[in-house]
Amino acid sequence: MKTHDFAQSPSGRLVPTIGGRHAYVPNDLPPKIEIASLVNKLSSANLALGELNGIARTLKNPYLLIRPLQVKEALTSSRMEGTYATADDLLLADAGFEGSELASDAREVSNYARALREATKSLADLPLCLRTIRNAHAELLSGVAPNRGATVRPGEFKHDQNWIGTTNKISDARFIPPPAAEAQEAMGQLEKYIQRETREDTPVLLDSALIHYQFEAIHPFSDGNGRVGRMLITLHLTERGALKAPLLYMSPYLEAHKQTYIDLMYGVSKFGNWIEWVDFYLTAVLETCKETVRTADRLSELRDQTKEKLRASGRSAGLLLLADYIFLHPVFSIPQLADYLSVTYRSAQANIEVAVEAGVLRLVPKTTQPKYYVAPQVMKVIFES
């Protein structure tokens, strides 16, 4: 990290750290921002968020949309950190498949999806806090391979100095976040900011942009900071009531604009360029809302088409329930469907055979005892959106 780039930063301060280097500690939130130039963008993003909430209200079961979006978020957010898995492999891992041919990366991405779901559920009983964040991190890195973070104390804030950049040398790092002690203190201040009583004084989407930057600048964990930081976006907006259901997942947009995303956060740290960062963030919210609404429309249309196909293929009431189930679980086994339908193995198998014949399902290759099936058209809508 070039110390002179951060020496005059209005957004933070430098402190000594290992190797004779200096680390950057962001100032506590909130910064002083003149948001007049952002009013129109804030208004547009809020309208888009309102439309997204409207979609949630029209769905009989919002999780028919939420679950597919969470799967896509897990794949994309993990890919941004160098963890790659196919959609089929992720969903197999998520469905409990234990075959040796399943890549370890798929299990790690499955951890992300599970951590996101569990953290969202926890908001019903616990306000968004450091405990929420640590629990999500513990779930994210649970049982992963040693070279993927298993030695970095899942669920614990860092004990040692970390840095950002494609290098093993701190001297070559692009950015050095706070040392462990300063990071712990900064996270405590961030928790106080998130839970403050006067939150209505700041527009919720502006708040979201500030909190996301702050978490990434602190980089409180030894690994997994990017993924937890992107979970934090949805968690914060859900906890504040800005999202009526956890439907906003921004990783696909952020991945598509990854270099701009990173550079603008550095711009805040170096020069205090908050306006540029918040403007980008609001654009990300706006475009993500629009794309999610389009995806919801496509999934709703596909669900209707699927029900018509299955209705024309057989008279079993289980077939129509199967049409809903595949949107919640696009990959599943016969025993899992039998449990969902509360029917025998043979009855579930018969429904699956009808769905395969109708082109709604296909067998996942190399899966036996039990066999797994995938809904290819659901996968296409999710991952080609």
Q: How confident is the model at residue 20 (pLDDT cuts 50, 70, 90)?
A: very high
Least confident of 23-32, 78-87, 259-268, 365-374: 78-87
CATH code of the region 295-383: 1.10.10.10
Whether 243 has a pLDDT exceeding 50, the answer reads yes
Among residues of the chain, what percentage have pLDDT more than 90? 60
Q: Which pLDDT score is estimated for 103?
A: 57
Q: What is the mean pLDDT of residues 361-381?
A: 86
Query: Could you tell me the residue ranges of all domains in the chain?
Result: 3-289, 295-383
Instruction: Output 151 or 74, whichever has higher pLDDT.
Output: 74
Look up the pTM and report it: 0.89
Task: List pLDDT tens digits, range 163-205.
Answer: 998 778 898 899 999 999 999 999 999 999 999 988 878 899 9
Task: List pLDDT tens digits, range 315-326.
Answer: 778 898 998 899
Q: What is the mean pLDDT of residues 277-282?
A: 98
Whether 226 has a pLDDT exceeding 80, the answer reads yes
Q: Which pLDDT score is estimated for 150?
A: 40
Q: How confident is the model at residue 92 (pLDDT cuts 50, 70, 90)?
A: low
Task: List pLDDT tens digits, range 94-121.
Answer: 656 665 445 566 777 778 888 998 999 9
Classify domain 3-289 at the CATH superfamily level: Fido-like domain (1.10.3290.10)
Q: Which pLDDT score is estimated for 219?
A: 97
Q: Which pLDDT score is estimated for 205?
A: 97
Whether 296 has a pLDDT exceeding 80, the answer reads yes
3-state secondary structure the chain: CCHHHHCCCCCEEEEECHHHCEEEEECCCCCCCCHHHHHHHHHHHHHHHHHHHHHHHHCCCCHHHHHHHHHHHHHHHHHHCCCCCCHHHHHHHHCCCCCCCCCHHHHHHHHHHHHHHHHHHHCCCCCCCHHHHHHHHHHHCCCCCHHHCCCCCCCCCCCCCCCECCCCCHHHCCECCCCHHHHHHHHHHHHHHHCCCCHHHCCHHHHHHHHHHHHHHHCCCCCCHHHHHHHHHHHHHHHCCCCCCCCCCCHHHHHHCHHHHHHHHHHHHHHCCHHHHHHHHHHHHHHHHHHHHHHHHHHHHHHHHHHHHHHHHCCCHHHHHHHHHHHHCCEEEHHHHHHHHCCCHHHHHHHHHHHHHCCCCEECCCCCCCCEEECHHHHHHHHCC
Whether 218 has a pLDDT exceeding 90, the answer reads yes
Least confident of 91-95, 130-134, 199-203, 302-306: 91-95
Q: Which pLDDT score is estimated for 152?
A: 67
Instruction: Output 19 or 314, whichever has higher pLDDT.
Output: 19
